Amino acid sequence: MHWGRRGAAAADAPPLPRTAVELRDVTHAYGERTVLSDVTLTLTESRIGVIGANGSGKSTFARLLNGLVVPTAGTVLVDGLDTRTQVREVRRQVGFVFQDPDAQIVHPTVAEDVAFGPTNQGRPADEIARRVDEVLDRYGLDGHRDHPAHLLSGGQKQLLAIAGVLVMEPQRVVFDEPTTLLDLVNTRRVAEVIEGLRQDVVVVTHHLDLLARFDRVLVFEDGRLAADGSPAEAVPWYVARNA
């Protein structure tokens, strides 16, 4: 287990393996307020959890991974792509699921919303139709394709939001508290969906039990990486720390 910084100094690091997210000396401030300091990390694992107190910088960290936030200092590389200069390519690689499904569903009905991302990618209509069918089927939304999105349950809305991201076939998916607004049953359902993804995932969560079978857990504290290890190490450390 590593405490604090992990990995070698960034500047003269060798070229990146193709399948990694690398943060080099990343610092981020909103105006005067620094919310992430000096984070250096290489993420190669397929299941990575991120935990920490409210305001510790988890969401900022998550947003760095697909260029929604660009660091004020340092570099974020996704499979070698710099989020500062190659943000479009990065966003094609990294899908993002937010906490509030209502804020990420943009079309009035289910199937139309799922088609939104691939349409933006400029894919041909028949391919879009095929992919939409496939993900709706996979996430049990097939019977709801023409339903108004606002009539879905909270859990179904979050599955719809996830479907709308996965239909774009990203290499990785970042989830920022995907289960915070859901009840127990839907939390479990979404957790199963995440577990079953073939993509690499990063999941920010306050639901610690979601992380039991993850490969690696990062703990943030006041904008710093406070702990980094397996769930069996990092989660109890975090719990004890906040007892």
Partner 1 sequence: MLSLYAPGTSPVHRTRAGLKLAALAALGTGLFALPRIEVVAAALVGVLVAGLVVARLPARALWAQVRPVWLLLAALFGVHLLVTDALTGTVTVLRLLTLVLAAAVVTATTRVTALVAVVEWLLRPLEVVGVRPARVGLMVAMTLRFIPVVAERAARIREAQAARGASGMRLGLLVPLLIQVLQLASTLGEALDARGADDVPARRPRRA
**15 touching partner 1, by CB under 8 A:** no
Sheet of 172-176, strand order: 94-97, 172-176, 200-204, 47-52, 216-221, 224-229
**171 touching partner 1, by CB under 8 A:** no
**130 touching partner 1, by CB under 8 A:** no
Instruction: State the minimum distance, in angstroms, from the CB of residue 175 to partner 1.
Output: 12
**91 touching partner 1, by CB under 8 A:** yes
Q: Contact region for partner 1 (CB under 8 A) — 122-130, 134-142, 191-199, 226-234?
A: 122-130
Q: Which residue from 18, 33, 88, 198 is in contact with partner 1, where contact means CB under 8 A?
A: 88
Range 2-31, binding ligand ATP (CB under 6 A): 30
Range 19-78, binding Mg ion (CB under 5 A): 59
Select 135 or 187, whichever has its Cβ closest to Mg ion.
187
Q: Where are any strands of DSSP class E within 8-46?
A: 21-30, 33-43
Q: Which residue from 40, 42, 60, 186 is in contact with ligand ATP, where contact means CB under 6 A?
A: 60
Instruction: State the minimum distance, in angstroms, from the CB of residue 115 to ligand ATP.
Output: 30
CA distance 213 to 32: 38
**164 touching ligand ATP, by CB under 6 A:** no
Q: Residues 31, 34, 37, 41: is their CA dihedral positive or negative? A: negative
Residue recorded with tokens 């359902």: 189
CA geometry: angle at 120 spanning 115 and 122, to 5°? 100
Binding mask 17-36 for partner 1 (x = CB under 8 A): --------------------
Tokens of 21: 């997210």
CA distance 211 to 191: 9
Instruction: State the minimum distance, in angstroms, from the CB of residue 4 to partner 1.
Output: 30
**Size of site (CB under 6 A) for ligand ATP:** 10
**59 touching ligand ATP, by CB under 6 A:** yes
Phi/psi region, residue 107 (left: phi>0; alpha: psi -120 to 50; beta: rest), is: beta
The strand pair at 33-43 and 21-30 is best described as antiparallel
User: Taking a C-beta distance cutoff of 8 angstroms, is the pair 146, 115 a contact?
Assistant: no
**156 touching Mg ion, by CB under 5 A:** no
Binding site for Mg ion (CB under 5 A): 59
Binding site for ligand ATP (CB under 6 A): 30, 35, 52, 54-60
